[in-house]
C-alpha cells in the first residue's frame, strides 16, 4: 500500500506499544505539570494567599479541622458568624474540601513534613487540576481513544473556563469538585460499559465524595438518571445498565445521606426525585424483561398496557400527594432561576445580587473556551456517528451543560469539561485522518473501490480505531469516505460519472490541515496563558496597579484594615458590613460579623441593608440592638476601585425593600430623571443614608475643602460633605478603600447624639425662639 | 535518646553580667565602714521604654586589704533594671559582681563588686556602675490625640544610696531633646546643701550637689531624707515595647544554611490615642511634614550581612512594603562593617496604644557563623540572641536553637544567664528521631543585650546521612511493595464455561 511519507518498517509491535505507553505517561505527566504551573500565576505575581471571599471561610474551617481535629469541626458552632444567631458550621457546610485538606495535612505531618495548612489550601486546586486532567483523559479514552484522551487532558489542564475557579489560592469547593465530577462520570461510563457492580459501587463512592464536596452534586444526581432514561427510551436497556445504575443509586444515595448538610434531601427534595424515578423505572423494565421471557407475547402486551398505566398513575399520584403534604420539598427559587433568568431578580434579589449568578455574556464563552467552543459542536456530532452508550452520555451532558452555562456564569464550569472532551474528539479525529499516511488506492477496478465506501460506520469500526497505530494499519478509514461518498451521491444522482477514489493525496494537503490544527492549538495555549495571567489570577484581596516606572504597586488596603481590626479592637467587637466581606472579616480580622457570604438568612441581610440605607436616626437603634461596635464600608471613589459599596448599594436597598417595602423604597434613591447619583443632584434619602454618609465622610477634606471627585462614578460631590452623629471614624486605610466607623454608645447624659455633638462642637443649642432674626425684623 | 541530652546538666555557664537570679554565697565584709565615696555622679539618660543610668563613684578605701565594694540600689530600680555592669573607669572589662540575697519586702538591695586589686588605706578607685532600666517611664498625660505631643515622666530617688558615707553627690537627668516640661523641686534638703538644689540647663536637670551624706542604706535615712523626684519631658521618638519576641534558629548542615525567624509582637507604649485615627489628618500631616514623632511609620532592622531569602509577613500574609539592602557577607571572625538593612513599613501607622505583629526571617550561609574543630569533632556556632529593635524593650523573649538531627554533647556559652533553659525536641522535614532544640527564655531585654550565644555540639558522620538513608529506605520499601503487589493475583477465577 502506498504511503504519503515513509514509515519505519523494522519496528516490532511490542516496541511500538511500549513506546506509545511510555510517551502517554510522559505526556500525562507534562500535562499535569502544565496544569499546575499555569495556576501558579497568582502565587508568583502576588503571594501564597487565599483569594476572594468564600475561600476565606473554607480556609478558616480547614484551620479548625487541622488544629482541633475532625470531631471538633463536626460539632463546630461558630458564635461569631451571623451575630447574634451564630452558625452551626459542621452541619451547614460541604465538608469534602476541608476534609481533603485535613487528610493531606495530617498525612504530611505524620511523615514529618510540617507544611503550613495555608499552603496546602492554596495549592489544593492546582493539585487537583492535575487529577482532573487525568480523569478527563480516562473519560475521553472511553469515548474515542487515548490520543483523544491526551488532547482532552491537555485542554482541561489549561482551559481558562476551569482555571478561573482553580487558580492557586482559589480554595473553593469547585477546586476538587470538577475532578470528582469527571471521575464519577468516568466510573459511571465504565460501570455501564462492562456492567460491573464494582464500578457502580466506585461510582457511588466518588459520588459520595462529590456530595460531600460541592452543592453542584445535583448535576451528577440528574445527569446519570437522565442518561439511563435516555438509554431506556432508545431501547438500549441492558443488564449492564441495570447493574451499574442500581449499584450506583442504592449505595450512592445512602452514602450521600451521611453528609449532615444533605441529610434526607435525597428522598425529600424534587431535585433528587428524577434519580429515584429512574431507579424505579429500571426495576419495572427489568421486571418486564423477566416477565416477557416467561410468558407469551399476547399476554405480555395486555400486561404491559395495564401495568404501565397503573404504575404511572400511582407514581404521579404519590408524588403529587407527597409534594402537597410537604414531605417532598417544592422546587426552590434557585431552581426556578435556572429556567427563568428574570425570576431571581424579581423574587430573590439576594441570589441575583451575586455577579456569578448572572446570565453568561457571549464573549465570555470565547474568553473561557477559545477555539474549543467551535470545535465542541463538531465533537458532539462526531459522537452521533458511533453512538455507543457513552456517546449518548456526552451528548446529553453537552446539551444540558450548554443550557446551564448560558443561564449562569458560574455554571460555565460544568460546561468546560464536556467542551474539552468533545473538542478533543474533533481534533483527534481530524488528526487521525490527516496524519494517517496511507494513500487512497488508485481505482483499478470498480468493485474493489466501491467496497470500502459502503462499509457502514459500525461501533466495531470505531473500536478498531482505538489506537492510532491500528488506524495506520487499517485501510483508509471509512469515516471521511462516508461523508464524501454521501456528498458525492447527492451531487451525482445518476451513476453516469466514473466513481473516483476519495481520500487525501500527497503530503502537502495533509500538511496544510495539520499545520492549521497545530496553529490553532498553539494559539490556544497563548490565549489560555494570557487570560489566566491577566483575568483570573488576581486574589482580589490584594489589588495591583502600576507605578509610573512600570513596576508593580500593591494596593493592600483590605488587609491593612482587617489587620488593624484584628490587632487593635476587642476580640468580641461586632463588625457590621455588607455580606460580601463577612468571610474575609472572620478570616482576616477574626471578629464577629452580622452577615456573611453564607447568605442563609435573608432577613438578617435585609436588616443590614436597612441600616445602611436608612438615615442615622433609624439606623442607630438597629445598630445598638445588634451590639454593633464597628461598621465597615468599602469606598473606591478615591482611587477608582469600582467594586465598592456605593455601587453595591442598590442591591442592599432592594434586599431591604423586599422585607420592609414600606420603609425602604428603591425609587427614593433615584433622581427625578431616574439616575443613580451621588453628587449635588442626589436625592435627600440618598444623602441622608448611612452608607452615603460613611462613604463620603470627610472626603472633601482631602481636596482642601473643594468638592471631592468621585473617580468611580465620575461625579463631583456636593460642596457640603456629610456629617455623622452616631458614628466615629475609627480607621481609614491608606487609599481609603476600607473605612471603619465605631458606633457611639448612648450619651451618658441622655442627650441624643445630634445635640451632644453640637454641644461638643461648641455650638449653642438652638433656642425655640430665634432671637437674632426677630430683632432684625424689628429693625 | 541522643547522648547529648544527658550532658545537659553540665552545660557551661559563663555569667559575664547579672543581677537577676544570681545566687550569692560569698559573705561580704560586714565590718564597719570600709570605704568612703568621695564623689558620686549619677547620670540618667532618659529614653522611651529604656533608661540608661550611669553612676560614677569615686571610692576611697578606709581600711586595708579591701577587695569587695558594695553598691546599693533602691528596690524599685533594682526590679526595673535588666542590665548591670560595673567597671573601673576607662577600662573595658567589667568587674565580677555578686548580688546579695534580700527579703521580698526589702527597700534596697546590694551587690558586691569584686575589685580588680586589693585596696590599701586611702587608695582610690573610680567605679562606673551602669544599669539599664526598663518600663520606668510612663506617658503623662496618658492619652494624646493624633496631633498632640508625647510627654513622658520619669521618677527616681533624689539621693544615690550607699552603705558608705558620701562626701558629695549629684544627679543629672538628661532628656534627648531640650524640651523638659517640669521637674520636682525637692524640699527638706537643707541638711546637705545650702545652694541651689536643682538647676535646668537645656536638656539636663541637675540635682545637687549634696554634700556629707551619711550612710544611707538604713531606714532612718530613707524615711527622713529620701524623696522621689519626677521629671516630665517631651520625647520625640515612639515608645516601643516588644511584648513578645520569639526567635527560632535552625541549623542545617545539608543545606549549609542557618535559618533565623523572629516572631515579634510590637506595641506602641506611648500615650494612648485619644479619640480616633483620622486618615485625612494623618495624610495632611504627612503632606505638610508635621507628623508627630511618636507614631511609628516604619521600622529599620539591622540584619546580619550576606543573608538571603528574607521574608516579612504577618498573620494574614506578606507585607509588600519593605525595602532590603543586603550587605555582602563577611568571613567568619572578621568584624562586621556593614549590616543588611531591612526597612519595613507596617501595615498601618502604629499610633499610641496600638499593637502590631510581624514575622521576619532569613537564611544565611552556615559557614559564616559556624566553625568545625577537627581535633575534637565539635561544631561551634555563633547565634545572636536577638535583633535590636531600636529603642524598644523586649518584655518576653524566647530563643529556640534547633540543632541538626542527632547532635550530641551539646554545650552552650551564654553572655548572661537566661530565666529558663531546657532541651526540647523539634521534628521537621524528613526527620526520623527529631532534632534537639535548646530553649532559652529571657525577660526585659534591651539593646545592650543583643549579644551572641555560642553552641557547641558533635555530629557523627552517620547522623549526617540519616536523612538520605531514611528517604531511600522509604522509597525502596514503596517500590518493593508495588513489586510484590503487582505479582499477586487476587482475581476470582472465572467460571469454567460449560462445554
Q: Which ipTM score applies to this complex?
A: 0.86
**Same domain assignment for residues B151 and B284:** no
Identify whether B497 is part of a domain: no
Kindly list the domain boundaries of chain A, sorted by start residue.
Answer: 176-331, 556-745
**What Å distances lie between residue A455 and A112, A461, A466, A480, A482, CA to CA?**
62, 9, 18, 12, 8
Q: Which of A49, A561, A742 sits opposite B317 (nearest CB)?
A: A49
User: Looking at the complex, does the CB of residue A732 fall below 8 Å from at least one CB of chain B?
Assistant: yes
β-strand B166-174 against B35-45: which pairing, if any?
parallel
More confidently predicted of A36 and A331: A36
Q: Are residues B359 and B388 in the same domain?
A: yes
Q: What is the pLDDT of residue A1?
A: 60
In whole angstroms, what is the distance from residue A417 CA to residue A177 CA? 12
User: How many H-runs (helices) and E-runs (strands) does chain A carry?
Assistant: 37, 10
Nearest to B280 among A560, A698, A733 (CB): A698
| The predicted structure's pLDDT at residue A465 | 40
Q: Domain for residue B202, yes or no?
A: yes
Best of B265, B272, B279, B346 to disrupt the A interface (most A CBs within 10 Å) is B279
Close Cβ partners of B164 (under 8 Å, ≥ 6 residues apart):
B33, B34, B35, B36, B37, B59, B215
Contact B321 A736 (CB under 8 A): no
Q: Is residue B173 part of a domain?
A: yes
DSSP 8-state class, residue A212: H
Is B172 part of any domain?
yes
Neighbours of A229 (CB within 10 A): 17
Chain B contact present for A51, CB below 8 A: no
Predicted confidence band of residue A140 (pLDDT cuts 50, 70, 90): very high
More confident residue, A590 or B21: A590
Whether B127 and B61 share a structural domain: yes
Q: A708 CA to chain B: closest CA distance, Å?
A: 13
B471, part of any domain: no
pLDDT score of A500: 56
Mean pLDDT on B204-233: 89
Cβ-defined contact of A562 to B316 (cutoff 8 Å): yes
> Which chain B residue's Cα is nearest to A587?
B316
Cβ within 8 Å of B, A 105-134: 111-114
Residue B474 falls inside a structural domain: no
Does A701 contact B280 at a Cβ distance shorter than 8 Å? yes
- Whether residues B41 and B75 share a domain: the answer is yes
In terms of domains, do B225 and B119 share one? yes
| A639 lies within 8 A of chain B by CB | no
Residue A380 scores a pLDDT above 90: yes
Q: In which band, very low, low, confident or very high, does the pLDDT at A456 lie, cut at 50, 70 and 90?
A: very low
How far does A745 lie from chain B, in Å, by closest CA? 14
What pLDDT score was predicted for residue B439?
Answer: 94
Query: Which 3 state secondary structure label does DSSP give A472?
Result: helix
Helix (H) or strand (E) holding A493: none
Whether B279 sits inside 8 A of A568 (CB atoms) is no
A738 vs B contacts (CB less than 8 Å): none
Output the pLDDT for position A473: 41
Quickly state the pLDDT bin for A311 (edges 50, 70, 90). confident
Q: Give the mean model confidence (pLDDT) for residues A739-760.
A: 84
The dihedrals phi and psi of B20, each to the nearest 5 degrees, come to -95, 135
pLDDT-derived band at B174, boundaries 50, 70, 90:
very high
Residue B484 forms part of a structural domain: no
In a domain, B281, yes or no: yes
Shortest CB distance from B276 goes to which of A554, A556, A729? A729
Q: Look at residue A184 in the predicted model and tell me its pLDDT.
A: 95
Q: Over the stretch B112-121, which tens digit does the pLDDT of each residue have?
A: 999 988 888 8
Q: Are residues B246 and B174 in the same domain?
A: no
Of B317, B353, B427, the CB nearest to A559: B317
CA A477 – CA A144 distance, rounded (Å): 14
pLDDT-derived band at B495 (thresholds 50, 70, 90) equals low
Closest chain A C-alpha to B233 CA, distance in angstroms: 27
CATH of the domain at B92: 2.60.40
How confident is the model over B314-334, as pLDDT tens digits? 888 888 778 888 888 877 777
Query: Is residue A729 within 8 angstroms of chain B, CB to CB?
Result: yes
Is the predicted pLDDT of residue B1 greater than 70, yes or no? Answer: no
Name the DSSP letter for residue A595.
Answer: -
CATH number of the domain bearing residue B401? 2.60.40.1730
Question: Considering B234, B261, B288, which residue would you say is the last residue of a domain?
Answer: B234
Mean pLDDT of chain B: 85
Neighbours of B313 (CB within 10 A): 17
Do both B215 and B281 map to the same domain?
no
**What is the structure's pLDDT at B21?**
38
B405 and B301 in a common domain: yes
Whether domain A556-745 has CATH 3.40.1010.10: no
Write down the pLDDT at residue B27: 36
In degrees and rounded to multiples of 5, residue A172 shows phi and psi of: -125, 170
**Chain B residues closer than 8 Å to A567 by CB:** 354-357
B124 touches chain A (CB under 8 A): no
Q: Does B475 touch chain A (CB under 8 A)?
A: no
Residue A34 in this model has a pLDDT that exceeds 60? yes
Q: Name chain A contacts of B432, Cβ cutoff 8 Å.
A: 112
Q: What is the pLDDT of residue A358?
A: 79
- B227 and B258 in a single domain? The answer is no
- According to DSSP, the residues that pair with A741 across neighbouring strands are A631, A729
Contact status of B283 with chain A (Cβ, < 8 Å): yes
What is the DSSP-derived secondary structure letter of residue A588? I
Any A CB within 8 A of B428 CB: yes
- pLDDT of A222-234, one tens digit each? 999 999 999 988 8
- Say yes or no: B219 and B332 in one domain: no
pLDDT for the residue A209: 95
Please write the tens of the pLDDT for every residue from A558-575.
999 999 999 999 999 999
- Range B174-209 burial, b when 16+ CB lie within 10 A, else e: bbeeeebeebbebeebeebbeeebbeeeeeebbbbb
* Radius of gyration from C-alpha coordinates of chain B: 29
Residues B401 and B294 in one domain: yes
Q: What is the dihedral of CA B15, B18, B20, B23, to 10 degrees?
A: 60
Number of independent structural domains in chain B: 2
Q: Summarize pLDDT for B455-489 with one digit per residue, the tens.
A: 999 988 888 888 889 899 999 999 999 999 988 88
Residue A555 phi/psi, 5° resolution? -100, 110
The reply to whether B432 touches chain A by the CB within 8 Å rule is yes
Which pLDDT belongs to residue A457? Answer: 41
Partner-chain residue, chosen from A559, A698, A729, that has the shortest CB–CB distance to B347? A559
Pick from A732, A736, A744, A760 the residue to mutate for testing the B interface (most B CBs within 10 Å): A732
* pLDDT for A443: 54
For residues B132-160, give the mean pLDDT.
90
Does residue B215 sit in the same domain as residue B282?
A: no
CB atoms within 10 A of CB A573: 17
The answer on pLDDT for A343 being more than 60 is yes
Burial class of residue A603, CB neighbours in 10 A (0-12, 13-18, 19+)? exposed
Q: A315-329, A353-367, A533-547, A578-592 — which is least confidently predicted?
A: A315-329
3-state DSSP call for residue B258? Answer: strand
- pLDDT-derived band of residue B231, with 50, 70 and 90 as boundaries? very high
Per residue in A492-511, pLDDT (tens digit) is 444 444 455 677 788 888 89
pTM above 0.90, yes or no: no
* Residue A460 contacts B, CB cutoff 8 Å: no
pLDDT band at A481 (very low <50, low <70, confident <90, very high): low
Identify the domain containing residue B176 by its residue range.
Answer: 35-234
Bigger pLDDT: A325 or A63? A63
Taking CB atoms and an 8 Å limit, are B432 and A112 in contact across chains? yes
Query: What integer pLDDT is reported at residue A484 of this predicted model?
Result: 52
- pLDDT: which is higher, B244 or A408: B244
With 50 as the cut, is the pLDDT of residue A461 above it? no
Residue B103, chain A, CB below 8 Å: the answer is no
What is the interface size between A and B, counted as CB pairs within 8 Å?
79
Amino acid at each position: 500500500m502506498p504511503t504519503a511519507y515513509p514509515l519505519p518498517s523494522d519496528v516490532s509491535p511490542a516496541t511500538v506499544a511500549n513506546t506509545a505507553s511510555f510517551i502517554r505517561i510522559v505526556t500525562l505527566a507534562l500535562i499535569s505539570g502544565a496544569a499546575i504551573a499555569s495556576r501558579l500565576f497568582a502565587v508568583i505575581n502576588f503571594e501564597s494567599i487565599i483569594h476572594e471571599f468564600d475561600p476565606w471561610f473554607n480556609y478558616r474551617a480547614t484551620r479548625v479541622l487541622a488544629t482541633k481535629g475532625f470531631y471538633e469541626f463536626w460539632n463546630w458552632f461558630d458564635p461569631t458568624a451571623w451575630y447574634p444567631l451564630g452558625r452551626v458550621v459542621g452541619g451547614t457546610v460541604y465538608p469534602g474540601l476541608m476534609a481533603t485538606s485535613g487528610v493531606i495535612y495530617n498525612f504530611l505531618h505524620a511523615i514529618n513534613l510540617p507544611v503550613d495548612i495555608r499552603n496546602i489550601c492554596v495549592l489544593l486546586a492546582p493539585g487537583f487540576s492535575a487529577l482532573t486532567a487525568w480523569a478527563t483523559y480516562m473519560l475521553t479514552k472511553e469515548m474515542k481513544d487515548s490520543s483523544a484522551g491526551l488532547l482532552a487532558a491537555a485542554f482541561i489542564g489549561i482551559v481558562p473556563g476551569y482555571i478561573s475557579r482553580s487558580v492557586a489560592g482559589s480554595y473553593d469547593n469547585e477546586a476538587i469538585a470538577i475532578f470528582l465530577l469527571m471521575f464519577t462520570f468516568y466510573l459511571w461510563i465504565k460501570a455501564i460499559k462492562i456492567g460491573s457492580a464494582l464500578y457502580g459501587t466506585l461510582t457511588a463512592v466518588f459520588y459520595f465524595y462529590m456530595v460531600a464536596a460541592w452543592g453542584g452534586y445535583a448535576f451528577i444526581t440528574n445527569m446519570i438518571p437522565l442518561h439511563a432514561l435516555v438509554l431506556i427510551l432508545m431501547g438500549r436497556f441492558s443488564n449492564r445498565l441495570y447493574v451499574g445504575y442500581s449499584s450506583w443509586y442504592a449505595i450512592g444515595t445512602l452514602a450521600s445521606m451521611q453528609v449532615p448538610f444533605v441529610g434526607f434531601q435525597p428522598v425529600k427534595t424534587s431535585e433528587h426525585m428524577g434519580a429515584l424515578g429512574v431507579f424505579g423505572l429500571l426495576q419495572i423494565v427489568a421486571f418486564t424483561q423477566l416477565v416477557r421471557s416467561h410468558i407469551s407475547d399476547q399476554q405480555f402486551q395486555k400486561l404491559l398496557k395495564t401495568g404501565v398505566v397503573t404504575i404511572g398513575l400511582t407514581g404521579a399520584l404519590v408524588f403529587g400527594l407527597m409534594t402537597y403534604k410537604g414531605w417532598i420539598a417544592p422546587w426552590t427559587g434557585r431552581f426556578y432561576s435556572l429556567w427563568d433568568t428574570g425570576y431571581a431578580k424579581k423574587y430573590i434579589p439576594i441570589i441575583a445580587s451575586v455577579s456569578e449568578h448572572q446570565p453568561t455574556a457571549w464573549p465570555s464563552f470565547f474568553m473561557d473556551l477559545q477555539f474549543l467552543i467551535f470545535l465542541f459542536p463538531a465533537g458532539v456530532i462526531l459522537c452521533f456517528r458511533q453512538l455507543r452508550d457513552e456517546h449518548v452520555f456526552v451528548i446529553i451532558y453537552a446539551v444540558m451543560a450548554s443550557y446551564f452555562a448560558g443561564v449562569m456564569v458560574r455554571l460555565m464550569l460544568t460546561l468546560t469539561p464536556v467542551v474539552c472532551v468533545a473538542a478533543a474528539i474533533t481534533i483527534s479525529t481530524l488528526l487521525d485522518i490527516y496524519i494517517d499516511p496511507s494513500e487512497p488506492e488508485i481505482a483499478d477496478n470498480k468493485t474493489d473501490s466501491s467496497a470500502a465506501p459502503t462499509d457502514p460506520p459500525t461501533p466495531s469500526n470505531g473500536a478498531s480505531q482505538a489506537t492510532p497505530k491500528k488506524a495506520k494499519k487499517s485501510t483508509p478509514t471509512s469515516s471521511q469516505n462516508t461523508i464524501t461518498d454521501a456528498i458525492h451521491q447527492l451531487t451525482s444522482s445518476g451513476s453516469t460519472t466514473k466513481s473516483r477514489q476519495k481520500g487525501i493525496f500527497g503530503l502537502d494537503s495533509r500538511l496544510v490541515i495539520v499545520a492549521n490544527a497545530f496553529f490553532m492549538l498553539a494559539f490556544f495555549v497563548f490565549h489560555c496563558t494570557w487570560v489566566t495571567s491577566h483575568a483570573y489570577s488576581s486574589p482580589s484581596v490584594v489589588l495591583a496597579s502600576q507605578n509610573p516606572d512600570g513596576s508593580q504597586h500593591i494596593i493592600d488596603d483590605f488587609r491593612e484594615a482587617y489587620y488593624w481590626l484584628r490587632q487593635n479592637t476587642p476580640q468580641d467587637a461586632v463588625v457590621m458590613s455588607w455580606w460580601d466581606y463577612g468571610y474575609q472579616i472572620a478570616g482576616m480580622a477574626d471578629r464577629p460579623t452580622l452577615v456573611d457570604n453564607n447568605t442563609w438568612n435573608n432577613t438578617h441581610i435585609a436588616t443590614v441593608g436597612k441600616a445602611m440605607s436608612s438615615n442615622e436616626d433609624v439606623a442607630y437603634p438597629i445598630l445598638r440592638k445588634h451590639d454593633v461596635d464597628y461598621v465597615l464600608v468599602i469606598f473606591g471613589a478615591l482611587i477608582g476601585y469600582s467594586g465598592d459599596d456605593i455601587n453595591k448599594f442598590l442591591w442592599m436597598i432592594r434586599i431591604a425593600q423586599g422585607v420592609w417595602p414600606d420603609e425602604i423604597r428603591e425609587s427614593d434613591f433615584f433622581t427625578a430623571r431616574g439616575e443613580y447619583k451621588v453628587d449635588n443632584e442626589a436625592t435627600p434619602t440618598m444623602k441622608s443614608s448611612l452608607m452615603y454618609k460613611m462613604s463620603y465622610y470627610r472626603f472633601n477634606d482631602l481636596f482642601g475643602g473643594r468638592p471631592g471627585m468621585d473617580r468611580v462614578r465620575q461625579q463631583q460631590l456636593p460642596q457640603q460633605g456629610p456629617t455623622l452623629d452616631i458614628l466615629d471614624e475609627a480607621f481609614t486605610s491608606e487609599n481609603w478603600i476600607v473605612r471603619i466607623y465605631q458606633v457611639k454608645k448612648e450619651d451618658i447624659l441622655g442627650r441624643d447624639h445630634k445635640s451632644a455633638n453640637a454641644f461638643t462642637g461648641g455650638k449653642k443649642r438652638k433656642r425655640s425662639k430665634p432671637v437674632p432674626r426677630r430683632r432684625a425684623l424689628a429693625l | 535518646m541522643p547522648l547529648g541530652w544527658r550532658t545537659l546538666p553540665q552545660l557551661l555557664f559563663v555569667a559575664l553580667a547579672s543581677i537577676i537570679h544570681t545566687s550569692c554565697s560569698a559573705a561580704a565584709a560586714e565590718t564597719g565602714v570600709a570605704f568612703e565615696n568621695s564623689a558620686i555622679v549619677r547620670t540618667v539618660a532618659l529614653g522611651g521604654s529604656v533608661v540608661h543610668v550611669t553612676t560614677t563613684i569615686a571610692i576611697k578605701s578606709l581600711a586595708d586589704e579591701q577587695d569587695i565594694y558594695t553598691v546599693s540600689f533602691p528596690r524599685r530600680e533594682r526590679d526595673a533594671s535588666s542590665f548591670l555592669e560595673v567597671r573601673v573607669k576607662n577600662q573595658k572589662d567589667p568587674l565580677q559582681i555578686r548580688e546579695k540575697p534580700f527579703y521580698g519586702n526589702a527597700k534596697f538591695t546590694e551587690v558586691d563588686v569584686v575589685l580588680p586589686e586589693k585596696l590599701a588605706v586611702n587608695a582610690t578607685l573610680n567605679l562606673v556602675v551602669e544599669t539599664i532600666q526598663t518600663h520606668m517611664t510612663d506617658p503623662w498625660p496618658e492619652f494624646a490625640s493624633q496631633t498632640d505631643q508625647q510627654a513622658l515622666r520619669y521618677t527616681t530617688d533624689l539621693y544615690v544610696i550607699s552603705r558608705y558615707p558620701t562626701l558629695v553627690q549629684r544627679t543629672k537627668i538628661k532628656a534627648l531633646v531640650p524640651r523638659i516640661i517640669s521637674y520636682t523641686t525637692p524640699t527638706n534638703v537643707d541638711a546637705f546643701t545650702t545652694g541651689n538644689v536643682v538647676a535646668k540647663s537645656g536638656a539636663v536637670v541637675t540635682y545637687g550637689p549634696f554634700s556629707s551624706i551619711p550612710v544611707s542604706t538604713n531606714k532612718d535615712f530613707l524615711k527622713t531624707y529620701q524623696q522621689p523626684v519626677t521629671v516630665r519631658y517631651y520625647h520625640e521618638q515612639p515608645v516601643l515595647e516588644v511584648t513578645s519576641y520569639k526567635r527560632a534558629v535552625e541549623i542545617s548542615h545539608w543545606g549549609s544554611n542557618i535559618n533565623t525567624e523572629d516572631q515579634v509582637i510590637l506595641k506602641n507604649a506611648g500615650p494612648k490615642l485619644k479619640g480616633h485615627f483620622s486618615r485625612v489628618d494623618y495624610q495632611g500631616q504627612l503632606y505638610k511634614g508635621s507628623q508627630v514623632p511618636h507614631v511609628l511609620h516604619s521600622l529599620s532592622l539591622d540584619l546580619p550581612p550576606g543573608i538571603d531569602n528574607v521574608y516579612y509577613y504577618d498573620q494574614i500574609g506578606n507585607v509588600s512594603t519593605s525595602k532590603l539592602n543586603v550587605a555582602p557577607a563577611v568571613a567568619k571572625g572578621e568584624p562586621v562593617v556593614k549590616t543588611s538593612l531591612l526597612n519595613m513599613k507596617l501595615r498601618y501607622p502604629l499610633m499610641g496604644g496600638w499593637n502590631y505583629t510581624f514575622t521576619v526571617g532569613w537564611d544565611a550561609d552556615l559557614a559564616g557563623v559556624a566553625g568545625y574543630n577537627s581535633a575534637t569533632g565539635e561544631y561551634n556556632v555563633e547565634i545572636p540572641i536577638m535583633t535590636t529593635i531600636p529603642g524598644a524593650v523586649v518584655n518576653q523573649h524566647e530563643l529556640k536553637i534547633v540543632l541538626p538531627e542527632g547532635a550530641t554533647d551539646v554545650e552552650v556559652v551564654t553572655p548572661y544567664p537566661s530565666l529558663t533553659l531546657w532541651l526540647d525536641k523539634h521534628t521537621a522535614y524528613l526527620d526520623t528521631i527529631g532534632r534537639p532544640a535548646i530553649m532559652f527564655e529571657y525577660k526585659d531585654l534591651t539593646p545592650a543585650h543583643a549579644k551572641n550565644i555560642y553552641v557547641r555540639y558533635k555530629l557523627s558522620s552517620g547522623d549526617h546521612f540519616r536523612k538520605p538513608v531514611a528517604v531511600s529506605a522509604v522509597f525502596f520499601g514503596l517500590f518493593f511493595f508495588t513489586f510484590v503487589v503487582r505479582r499477586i493475583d487476587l482475581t476470582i477465577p472465572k467460571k469454567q464455561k460449560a462445554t
